[in-house]
């Protein structure tokens, strides 16, 4: 159990507003009694009504609900006198009444009916406030319901006076159009198929560790000493430091409090920084008593008003700058700029902005506008910065954007014109796979490396996003990943053991998950990989789908039955928007790769700017496993010109398996056999499971290259490397290192690949995958910056006779298992290396100047000398 | 009026356990730094509202705090002081009284629970007012009914419209706030509110034009001008809080305290050039406060 601080702030008494809250969901078909809604779906209509009765159509932004709708009515009633209260629920629809959460009566139970459409029940109420809830399933015909009561001593039923009814004030009325899903009794599909998952992804084990510590998490980050810093979006506005996370009783210590709605936190250059509403602040503990005593304003001044919805989100330090986002003002869910009005901050480029801050001077600039509720920003795939934005006006569904300076994103202040999506990477179809996406994080290792996980505050859980570049731009798919967490997920932080810490938050109205408002849990890696789709890659004529395990031999027939649809969205002033041009796509044929881990779906009529939905229900793995979730949603910002060219080897970040007899140079625990130029043990730093280059980039002085103790000639060399994001484009500072074969032939290591796109693009012979300054890789097999990757290099040394080279050295390079240099001649020494010469020489790993967000790391480096003689040559070679 | 408060007796020194310093949206302004010094009475404090944008306090009160907002009570309101206001900077330039409309002219408007716009095309117009000294200016009001929109305009004596906007609508049935930032315009203005439709009991209340006046001036070489202001941060030590503000390039430390006789402001100025001085004008008792490098303690009697 964690130790707990008792908040000294008195929480204001829960405010209320007169009326009752009504929410209505449009269903596809009638039900013979009140069904259970599939969770995570926003209502079509949501408003505050005066009394516990209603008749007529239910109005919504998207048109009136007339039939086949589910209605939820909730309020609190003030009870002046304790006693038994009789209730009379009147409706010709299927309706039930709950008081204080307990069922009281229902109109479809003949035993409770006074007469047709009138059900009676009784409840013992104490003085004070009691919760009332009516659920109605209305199928067809005129709609009406009412609730009357008979207090103790009264003879007749009477209307509950409006003056006694109240509901939550200041609700944000989140709605969305379209038909919603509901079930009677047990759902007819497993979790993750047409409805949310119910458990954490099998690759993680859920660990509850917070005890009574109940943070509404606004931000999370790790300190270098392993403590987890958590800032809380609550009345205390605190920063807590949690230590001993692996013990049975992690310790929670208050570090700071009194911050105004902190929604971002970062550790940078020895200090903790937080994002408050309209400000970034540095926290320092000058007297070393364990709590902050100095609160320094680092930056402020961007547009922010008193409006509750003008949050300042996130805090991402990157390349010497801080990045935050701001959101637009709202009132009751609607954007506070209505036709013919100015916003509460009528500034052309804010709020709703991406903001860059110089932490040294406090100067800030707005880099991009048109964001609505950008609650979630991170360095993601390929070291690019991404932001998630939430559904609402001009955003028919929630989205993931890549952040590019100068972009005007979808949300706009003017009611005029229709904005066009720009730099939109993924749509999260509302209620199907997300409602309020939050922070995302890059997966740096394992089967899903190079992809991202993203939280959701109201839909809950985690979603997985897999991107590819098409025509130079990112797009991709979203998959269900995890549910069953204690609150909607707001913030994420990786521990150094591969654990993912998930922080929850929630508010009133329906801006929460299952009504929960705080949470902090740990997902510990299990190394289990369930059967599911790993990623999708679009072609002009269909999709190449990769799976985590081989498909069953009968899968092709099942895959051909896949439910594939496509639709698009149109921006409008409406809160959210419907699917437009929704159509089913016919699967022409399905081809399965020889290793049964890929399938190609031939599809005609793929359109750009659409969402393509796949449901592969019933498909099993070769081992007979069902899919963790058979669904995915791919956003086709572009459809490439390239057609399916046959199957190629899928990337595998572990590279090739280590053969018997291989010699370890750096192991998986960070133990190194490498030496410096003088033969002393290499001064590179040992980390948890890796060795990292030591280089002071400011002074441009390093610990020097790291050499093998023995020389080599022909060899198979395996190395796993990690190049963090950052550095300037085309500057050779992008997480630069390299492996120099025989100390003179470099295979480049960098966070940028020498070939960027599925369709090619500008190749570069001096970036990752290249024989440095000689030959660019043939395929982009990179998992991107900040991700563990593997090279398997088969090197055939140059042949010499009488001191003259008679054959060039040659090399085959497999990058993440994919052949990118096929038995290529190395024409000469590369770059500034030592000259070619006969004989064997050590291999070295390069100490190079870099401006990335940290040093290059290595692990699992081993070699097999003279592999051909041991029949261990490369598997594919000319 | 103050006697009853003084009778309970302020403690002379705040303690670590009782001083409370926090940031919040407070009385319609974001980023406010609220400092609550304890008194001997439970749940009572001497409260200071330090406004980062003007680099000084804008309110002192004694009493409690009504914590409102998403992180307090989930509402869309914001926090306010409760109790006796000891001093508050002038901020309102115009207010529509809730029971009479002296100096206002109108057509089709009458007072019920608020000002009810009882016929289509009804309007109200304020007397002439000025608000050009404000650093930031806002129009705030509450409206009732969801089915019609107010149009709010600033009109100069010639009838030219300086700025205009429509109220925003909500799905709530009760009184709804509106809060709009407006450009600070020099000269005389009248505020006009009109409603094309008088449906659904369209009503208005709590209408005001307000903002914050610049407080700091710097005098150098015989020239006095409004000083740039940037809050640098604050330090909390041994039960006291010190706020640091960059005023015209000089650093001003400000520390509040309170005892039975006074509430006190301690100033420490550094980095001001020898020929320069700072002037703080807040409408407080004692008039202008002129500061040079060094310390100055200012006691304000209760």
Residue A88 has pLDDT above 80, yes or no: yes
A278 touches chain B (CB under 8 A): yes
Q: What is the pLDDT of residue A14?
A: 56
Q: What is the pLDDT of residue B18?
A: 81
With a CB cutoff of 8 Å and minimum separation 6, the contacts of A507 are A172, A517, B70, B74
What is the three-class DSSP state of A280?
strand
Residue B3 has pLDDT above 80, yes or no: no
Size of interface A-B (CB pairs under 8 A): 169
Domain residue ranges of chain A, discontinuous segments joined by +: 17-171, 204-337+350-529, 534-636, 663-870
Q: What is the pLDDT of residue B8?
A: 31
In angstroms, the CA B69 to CA B79 distance is: 7
Give the residue from B89, B119, B153 where a domain finishes. B89
Ordered DSSP codes for A729-763: TTTT-SS-EEEEETTTEEEEE-SSBSS-BTTB---
The predicted model gives A398-420 an average pLDDT of 89
Q: What is the pLDDT of residue A43?
A: 92
Instruction: Looking at the structure, tell me whether residues B102 and B199 fall in a common domain.
Output: yes
The answer to whether residues A773 and A787 touch, using CB atoms and an 8 Å cutoff, is no
Ordered DSSP codes for A136-177: EEE-SSS-EEEEEEE-TT-SS-EEPPGGGEEE-SS-------
The answer to whether residues A73 and A133 touch, using CB atoms and an 8 Å cutoff, is yes
Residues B99-107: contacts with CB under 8 Å, at least 24 apart: B103/B127
Q: Per the structure, how many domains does chain B have?
A: 3
Residue B14 has pLDDT above 60, yes or no: no
A281 touches chain B (CB under 8 A): yes
Q: What is the pLDDT of residue B16?
A: 41
A503 touches chain B (CB under 8 A): no
Residues from chain A that touch B73, judged by Cβ atoms under 8 A, are: 11-15, 169
String of b and e for A16-34 (b: at least 16 CB within 10 Å)?
A: bbbbbbbbbbbbeeebeeb
Tell me, what DSSP letter sits at residue A649? Answer: P
Residue of B nearest to A19 (CA): B173
Residue A227 has pLDDT above 50, yes or no: yes
The predicted model gives A614-642 an average pLDDT of 97
For the ranges A50-64, A652-666, B10-24, B277-291, the one whose mean pLDDT is highest: A652-666
The answer to whether residues A375 and A392 touch, using CB atoms and an 8 Å cutoff, is no
H or E element at residue B8: helix B3-8
Instruction: Looking at the structure, tell me whether residues B16 and B66 fall in a common domain.
Output: yes
In angstroms, the CA A25 to CA A31 distance is: 13
Print the SS3 string covering A341-399.
CCCCCCECCECCCEEEECCCCCCEEEEEECCCCCCCEEECHHHCEEEEECCEECECCEE
The answer to whether residues B117 and B109 touch, using CB atoms and an 8 Å cutoff, is yes
Q: What is the pLDDT of residue B10?
A: 35
- In the beta sheet, which residues pair with residue A503? A491, A520
- In the beta sheet, which residues pair with residue A610? A636
Instruction: Looking at the structure, tell me whether residues B166 and B233 fall in a common domain.
Output: no
Cβ-defined contact of B172 to A48 (cutoff 8 Å): yes
Residue B6 has pLDDT above 70, yes or no: no
The answer to whether residues A272 and A264 touch, using CB atoms and an 8 Å cutoff, is no
- In the beta sheet, which residues pair with residue B38? B45
A85 token code pair: 């209260």
pLDDT 10s digits, A91-101: 999 999 999 99
Cβ neighbours, 10 Å, residue B128 = 14
H or E element at residue B195: strand B190-195
Fold of A17-171: Toxin - Anthrax Protective Antigen; domain 1 (3.90.182)
> What is the domain range of residue B238?
216-301
Residue of A116 and A568 predicted with greater confidence: A568
B80 touches chain A (CB under 8 A): no
Residue of A195 and B197 predicted with greater confidence: A195
In angstroms, the CA A4 to CA A15 distance is: 27
B78 touches chain A (CB under 8 A): yes
Give the pLDDT band (50/70/90) at residue B200: confident
Give the pLDDT band (50/70/90) at residue A291: very high
With a CB cutoff of 8 Å and minimum separation 6, the contacts of A414 are A337
In angstroms, the CA A820 to CA A751 distance is: 16
Give the residue from B43, B65, B89 where a domain finishes. B89
A515 touches chain B (CB under 8 A): no
Residue of A722 and B134 predicted with greater confidence: A722
Whole-angstrom Cα Rg for chain B: 22
B113 touches chain A (CB under 8 A): no
Cβ-defined contact of B235 to A300 (cutoff 8 Å): no
Residue A236 C-alpha, separation from nearest chain B C-alpha, in angstroms: 8
pLDDT 10s digits, A137-149: 999 999 999 999 9
Helices then strands, counting H and E runs in chain B, come out as 1, 25
Preceding peptide of A351 cis, ω within 30°: yes
Cβ neighbours, 10 Å, residue B129 = 16
String of b and e for A240-275 (b: at least 16 CB within 10 Å)?
A: bbbbebeeeebebeebbbbbbbbbbbbeeeebbbbb
Instruction: Looking at the structure, tell me whether residues B76 and B180 fall in a common domain.
Output: no
B6 φ/ψ angles, rounded to the nearest 5 degrees: -65, -25
B166 token code pair: 């429509």
Tell me, what DSSP letter sits at residue A408? Answer: B
In angstroms, the CA A384 to CA B117 distance is: 54
Q: What is the pLDDT of residue B169?
A: 59
The answer to whether residues A613 and A595 touch, using CB atoms and an 8 Å cutoff, is no
Cα A385 from chain centroid?
13
Quick one: CA torsion of B84, B90, B94, B95, rounded to 10 degrees? 0
Cβ neighbours, 10 Å, residue A644 = 16
Residue B41 has pLDDT above 70, yes or no: yes
User: Which of A76, A258, A302, A574 should one mutate to test binding to chain B, selecting the residue with the greatest count of B CBs within 10 A?
Assistant: A258
Q: What is the pLDDT of residue A184?
A: 86
H or E element at residue A322: strand A321-326
Q: How many residues does chain B have?
A: 302
Q: How many residues does chain A have?
A: 878
The rounded percent of chain A whose pLDDT value lies above 70 is: 95
Instruction: Looking at the structure, tell me whether residues B104 and B202 fall in a common domain.
Output: yes
The predicted model gives A465-474 an average pLDDT of 94
Give the pLDDT band (50/70/90) at residue B146: low
Q: What is the pLDDT of residue B60?
A: 97
Cβ-defined contact of B31 to A304 (cutoff 8 Å): yes
Nearest CB neighbour to A342, from listed B71, B72, B165:
B165
Largest CA distance in chain B: 65
Cβ neighbours, 10 Å, residue A140 = 10
In angstroms, the CA A24 to CA A65 distance is: 8
Cβ-defined contact of A307 to B179 (cutoff 8 Å): yes
pLDDT 10s digits, A170-186: 777 788 888 999 988 88
Residue A756 has pLDDT above 80, yes or no: no
In angstroms, the CA B84 to CA B47 distance is: 10
Instruction: Looking at the structure, tell me whether residues B101 and B208 fall in a common domain.
Output: yes
Strands B250-258 and B262-270: antiparallel
Cβ-defined contact of B75 to A277 (cutoff 8 Å): no
Tell me, what DSSP letter sits at residue B6? Answer: H
For the ranges A52-66, A180-194, A705-719, B124-138, the one whose mean pLDDT is highest: A705-719
Instruction: Looking at the structure, tell me whether residues B100 and B198 fall in a common domain.
Output: yes
Q: What is the pLDDT of residue A796?
A: 98
The answer to whether residues A513 and A460 touch, using CB atoms and an 8 Å cutoff, is yes
The predicted model gives B182-196 an average pLDDT of 92
The predicted model gives A317-346 an average pLDDT of 70
B118: domain CATH number is 2.60.120.260
Q: What is the pLDDT of residue A39?
A: 83
CATH class of the domain at A663-870: mainly beta
pLDDT 10s digits, A479-493: 999 999 999 999 999
Residue A348 has pLDDT above 60, yes or no: no
The rounded percent of chain B whose pLDDT value lies above 70 is: 92
Task: Find, among A421, A469, A388, A480, the residue nearest to A193 by Cα.
Answer: A480
Instruction: Looking at the structure, tell me whether residues B128 and B206 fall in a common domain.
Output: yes
Range name among A137-146, A566-575, A692-701, B164-173 with the lowest pLDDT average:
B164-173
Strands A690-692 and A804-807: unpaired
Q: What is the pLDDT of residue A335?
A: 54
Residue A675 has pLDDT above 90, yes or no: yes
pLDDT 10s digits, A359-393: 999 999 999 999 999 999 999 999 999 999 999 88
In angstroms, the CA A498 to CA A528 distance is: 13
Instruction: Looking at the structure, tell me whether residues B112 and B169 fall in a common domain.
Output: yes
Residue A65 has pLDDT above 80, yes or no: yes
Residues from chain A that touch B245, judged by Cβ atoms under 8 A, are: none
In angstroms, the CA B165 to CA A634 distance is: 41
Range name among A462-466, A470-474, B80-84, B96-100 with the lowest pLDDT average:
B96-100
Cα-based distances in Å from A558 to A599, A606, A794: 12, 21, 40
The answer to whether residues A273 and A282 touch, using CB atoms and an 8 Å cutoff, is yes
Cβ-defined contact of B30 to A287 (cutoff 8 Å): no
Give the pLDDT band (50/70/90) at residue A346: very low
- In the beta sheet, which residues pair with residue B62? B46, B84
A558 token code pair: 């099942």
Q: What is the pLDDT of residue B17?
A: 46
Give the residue from B168, B197, B212 where a domain finishes. B212
The CATH classification number of A534-636 equals 2.60.40.1220
A204-337+350-529 domain in CATH 2.70.210.12?
no
Cβ neighbours, 10 Å, residue A814 = 25
The predicted model gives B252-273 an average pLDDT of 95
A696 token code pair: 């002071």
Which single residue is written with the structure tokens 């209620």?
A431
């Amino acid at each position: 159990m964690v130790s707990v601080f008792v908040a000294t702030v008195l929480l204001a008494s829960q405010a209320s507003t007169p009326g009752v809250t009504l929410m209505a969901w449009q269903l596809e078909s009638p039900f013979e009694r009140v069904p259970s809604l599939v969770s995570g779906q926003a209502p079509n209509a949501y408003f505050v009504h005066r009394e516990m009765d209603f008749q007529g159509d239910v109005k919504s932004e998207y048109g009136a609900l007339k039939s086949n709708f589910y209605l939820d009515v909730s309020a609190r009633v003030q009870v002046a006198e304790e006693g038994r209260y009789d209730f009379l629920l009147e409706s010709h629809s299927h309706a039930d009444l709950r008081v204080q959460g307990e069922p009281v009566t229902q109109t479809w139970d003949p035993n409770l009916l006074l007469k047709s459409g009138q059900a009676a029940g009784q409840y013992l109420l104490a003085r004070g406030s009691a919760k009332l809830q009516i659920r109605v399933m209305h199928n067809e015909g005129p709609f009406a319901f009412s609730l009357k009561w008979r207090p103790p001593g009264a003879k007749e039923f009477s209307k509950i006076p409006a003056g006694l009814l109240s509901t939550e004030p200041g609700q944000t009325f989140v709605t969305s159009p379209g038909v919603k899903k509901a079930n009677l009794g047990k759902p007819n599909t497993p979790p993750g198929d047409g409805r949310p998952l119910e458990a954490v992804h099998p690759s993680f084990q859920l660990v509850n560790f917070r005890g009574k510590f109940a943070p509404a998490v606004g931000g999370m980050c790790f300190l270098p000493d392993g403590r987890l810093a958590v800032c809380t979006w609550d009345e205390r506005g605190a920063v807590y430091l949690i230590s001993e996370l692996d013990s049975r009783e992690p310790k929670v210590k208050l570090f700071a409090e009194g911050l105004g709605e902190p929604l971002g936190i970062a550790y940078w250059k020895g200090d903790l920084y937080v994002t408050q509403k309209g400000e970034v602040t540095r926290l320092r503990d000058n007297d070393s008593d364990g709590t902050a005593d100095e609160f320094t304003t680092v930056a402020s001044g961007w547009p922010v008003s008193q409006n509750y919805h003008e949050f300042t989100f996130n805090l991402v330090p990157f390349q010497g700058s801080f990045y935050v986002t701001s959101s637009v003002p709202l009132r009751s869910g609607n954007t506070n700029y209505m036709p013919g009005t100015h916003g509460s901050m009528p500034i052309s480029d804010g709020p709703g902005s991406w903001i860059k801050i110089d932490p040294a001077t406090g100067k800030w600039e707005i880099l991009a506008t048109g964001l609505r509720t950008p609650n979630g920003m991170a360095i993601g795939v390929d070291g690019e910065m991404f932001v998630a934005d939430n559904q609402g006006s001009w955003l028919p569904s929630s989205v993931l954007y890549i952040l590019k300076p100068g972009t005007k994103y979808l949300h706009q202040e003017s009611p005029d014109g229709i904005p066009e999506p720009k730099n939109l990477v993924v749509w999260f179809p509302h209620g199907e796979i997300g409602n309020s996406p939050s922070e995302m994080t890059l997966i740096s290792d394992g089967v899903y490396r190079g992809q991202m996980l993203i939280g959701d505050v109201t839909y809950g859980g985690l979603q997985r996003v897999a991107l590819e570049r098409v025509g130079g731009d990112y797009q991709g798919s979203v998959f269900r990943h995890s549910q069953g967490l204690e609150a909607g997920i707001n913030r994420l932080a990786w521990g150094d053991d591969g654990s993912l810490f998930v922080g929850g938050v929630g508010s009133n109205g329906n801006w929460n998950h299952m009504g929960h408002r705080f949470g902090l849990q740990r997902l510990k890696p299990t190394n289990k990989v369930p059967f599911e789709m790993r990623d999708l890659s679009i072609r002009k004529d269909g999709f190449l789908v990769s799976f985590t395990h081989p498909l069953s031999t009968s899968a092709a027939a099942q895959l051909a039955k896949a439910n594939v649809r496509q639709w698009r969205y149109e921006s409008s002033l409406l809160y959210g928007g419907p699917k437009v041009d929704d159509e089913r796509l016919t699967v022409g044929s399905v081809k399965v790769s020889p290793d049964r881990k890929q399938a190609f779906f031939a599809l005609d009529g793929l359109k750009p700017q659409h969402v393509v939905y796949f449901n592969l229900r019933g498909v099993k793995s070769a081992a007979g496993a069902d899919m963790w979730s058979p669904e995915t949603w791919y956003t086709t910002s572009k459809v490439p010109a390239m057609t399916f060219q046959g199957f190629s080897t899928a990337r595998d970040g572990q590279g090739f398996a280590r053969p018997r007899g291989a010699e370890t140079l750096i192991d998986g625990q960070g133990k190194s056999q490498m030496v410096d130029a003088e033969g002393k043990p290499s001064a590179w730093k040992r980390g948890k499971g890796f060795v990292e280059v030591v280089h002071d980039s400011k002074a441009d002085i390093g610990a020097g290259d790291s050499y093998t103790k023995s020389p080599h000639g022909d060899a198979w060399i395996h190395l796993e490397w990690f190049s963090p994001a950052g550095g300037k484009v085309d500057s050779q500072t992008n997480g630069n290192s390299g492996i120099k074969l025989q100390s003179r032939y470099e295979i480049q290591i960098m966070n940028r690949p020498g070939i960027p796109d599925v369709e090619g693009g500008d190749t570069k012979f001096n970036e990752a995958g290249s024989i440095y300054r000689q030959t660019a890789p043939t395929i982009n097999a990179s998992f991107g910056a900040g991700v563990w990757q593997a090279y398997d290099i088969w090197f055939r040394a140059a042949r010499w006779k009488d001191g003259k080279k008679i054959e060039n050295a040659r090399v085959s390079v497999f990058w993440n298992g994919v052949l990118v240099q096929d038995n290529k001649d190395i024409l000469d020494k590369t770059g500034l290396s030592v000259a070619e010469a006969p004989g064997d020489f050590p291999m070295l790993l390069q100490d190079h100047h870099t401006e990335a967000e940290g040093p290059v790391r290595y692990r699992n480096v081993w070699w097999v000398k003279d592999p051909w003689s041991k029949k261990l040559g490369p598997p594919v070679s000319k | 009026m103050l006697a009853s408060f003084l009778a309970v007796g302020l403690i002379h020194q705040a303690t670590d356990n009782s001083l409370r310093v926090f940031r919040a949206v407070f009385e319609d302004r974001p980023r406010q730094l609220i400092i609550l010094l304890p008194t001997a009475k439970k749940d009572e404090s001497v409260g200071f509202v330090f406004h980062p944008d003007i680099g000084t306090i804008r309110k002192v009160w004694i009493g409690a705090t009504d914590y409102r907002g998403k992180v307090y009570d989930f509402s869309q309101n914001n926090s306010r002081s409760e109790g006796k206001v000891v001093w508050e900077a002038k901020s309102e330039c115009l207010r529509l009284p809730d029971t009479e409309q002296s100096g206002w002219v109108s057509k089709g408007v009458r007072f019920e629970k608020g000002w009810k716009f009882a016929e289509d095309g009804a309007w109200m117009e304020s007397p002439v007012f000025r608000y050009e000294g404000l650093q930031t200016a806002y129009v705030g009001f509450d409206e009732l009914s969801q089915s019609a929109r107010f149009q709010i305009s600033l009109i100069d004596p010639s009838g030219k419209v300086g700025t205009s906007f429509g109220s925003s609508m909500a799905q709530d049935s009760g009184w709804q706030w509106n809060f709009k930032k407006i450009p600070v315009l020099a000269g005389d203005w009248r505020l006009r509110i009109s409603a094309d439709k008088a449906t659904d009991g369209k009503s208005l209340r709590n209408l005001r034009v307000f903002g914050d006046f610049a407080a700091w001036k710097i005098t150098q070489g015989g020239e006095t001008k409004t000083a740039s202001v940037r809050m640098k941060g604050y330090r909390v030590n041994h039960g006291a809080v010190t706020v640091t503000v960059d005023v015209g390039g000089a650093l001003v430390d400000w520390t509040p305290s309170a005892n039975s006789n006074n509430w006190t402001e301690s100033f420490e100025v550094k980095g001001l050039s020898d020929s320069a001085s700072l002037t703080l004008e807040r409408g407080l008792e004692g008039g202008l406060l002129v500061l040079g490098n060094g310390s100055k303690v200012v006691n304000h009697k209760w």
